[in-house]
Amino acid sequence: MIATGFLGETPYEVEALTEAHIPQLMVLQQEVVEALPDKAILQPLDEDELSNILQGNGLMVGVFVEGSLMAFRALLKPQMDAEHLGLDVGLTTDVQLKQVLYQEISNVHPQFRGYGLQRTMADIIMQQVNTTEFNVICATVMPFNIASLKDKFSQGMHVAALKYKYGGKLRYVFAKFLNEEVRNFESETELSMADTEGQQTLLKEGYIGISIRQHESVWLVKYVK
């Protein structure tokens, strides 16, 4: 057991997951997808992908209520390939790329939404990372997936790129450098999340995205440099 807490008055336990938990993971993912109004937002992991992480190529923690898995979060040690997110955030050498972990899928059972479990699991799993081996956490998020974008920003991650990934899907590429000192910024601006080219121009000029906010019906992304 890694941690304990309460969801309202309901106690929970957090454990590191193993391959023995795959059947529960598959069931939970299906329950989460079925509850989504837009099922395209979430791409569940299949059994092979779950096994890959749980066989030592990453980390996975789960939240249990009365012995049943109600939430989980995963980090993945990625393969060294042309799609490596480290390349998108400015890393260039094999040594640097091998220090990258991906924030993978995060699921919370519909029954236990609203308790901040996404953030709780993020804090817990990050404490499990061996920072002598890994230095950068990366992730991708679809524009206008507001809950996921807020989740990444709440962890101190920033937008480092906006590009087409995974066969042509537009994604923000997030990064968090674990050993980075606090940076001071001299310039800031906001752009509509719908302005893809404008954001890409800012990112190429060295800006990073650090937060979002809604102004009337428009979602704005704050960029700093």
- Alpha helices per DSSP H over 45-145: 47-54, 85-88, 94-97, 117-127
**Confidence band of 39 (pLDDT split at 50, 70, 90):** low
Query: 100 and 196: one domain?
Result: no
Query: 109 and 219: one domain?
Result: no
β 136-141/100-108 pair status: parallel
pLDDT, averaged across the chain: 93
Question: For residue 158, what is the domain's CATH number?
Answer: 3.40.630.30
Cα 157 to Cα 61: distance, rounded to the nearest angstrom: 20
Cα 95 to Cα 97: distance, rounded to the nearest angstrom: 6
Query: 132 and 75: one domain?
Result: yes
Q: pLDDT digit string (tens) for 208-218? A: 999 999 999 99
Q: At residue 109, does pLDDT exceed 80? A: yes
Query: 159 and 172: one domain?
Result: yes
Cα 172 to Cα 170: distance, rounded to the nearest angstrom: 7
Query: 119 and 42: one domain?
Result: yes
Q: pLDDT digit string (tens) for 119-164? A: 999 999 999 999 999 999 999 999 999 988 999 999 999 999 999 9
Average pLDDT over residues 189-218: 97
Angle at 37 between CA 221 and CA 141, to 5 degrees: 35
Q: Which amino acid is at 25?
A: L
Q: pLDDT digit string (tens) for 40-55? A: 667 788 999 999 999 9
Query: 120 and 33: one domain?
Result: yes
Query: 54 and 121: one domain?
Result: yes
Query: 40 and 116: one domain?
Result: yes
Query: 56 and 143: one domain?
Result: yes
Query: 153 and 223: one domain?
Result: no
Query: 99 and 28: one domain?
Result: yes
DSSP secondary structure, 81-106, as one string: STT-HHHHTT--SHHHHTTEEEEEEE
Q: In the β-sheet with 218-224, what is the strand arrangement from edge to edge? A: 3-7, 10-16, 58-65, 68-76, 100-108, 136-141, 169-177, 158-165, 208-215, 218-224, 188-192
Domains of the chain: total:
2
Q: pLDDT digit string (tens) for 60-79? A: 999 999 999 999 999 999 99
Q: Residue 117 is part of which domain span?
A: 3-180
Q: Going by C-beta distance under 8 Å and a sequence separation of 6 or more, which residues neighbour residue 135?
A: 96, 99, 100, 177, 178, 179
Cα 42 to Cα 106: distance, rounded to the nearest angstrom: 9
Query: 94 and 47: one domain?
Result: yes
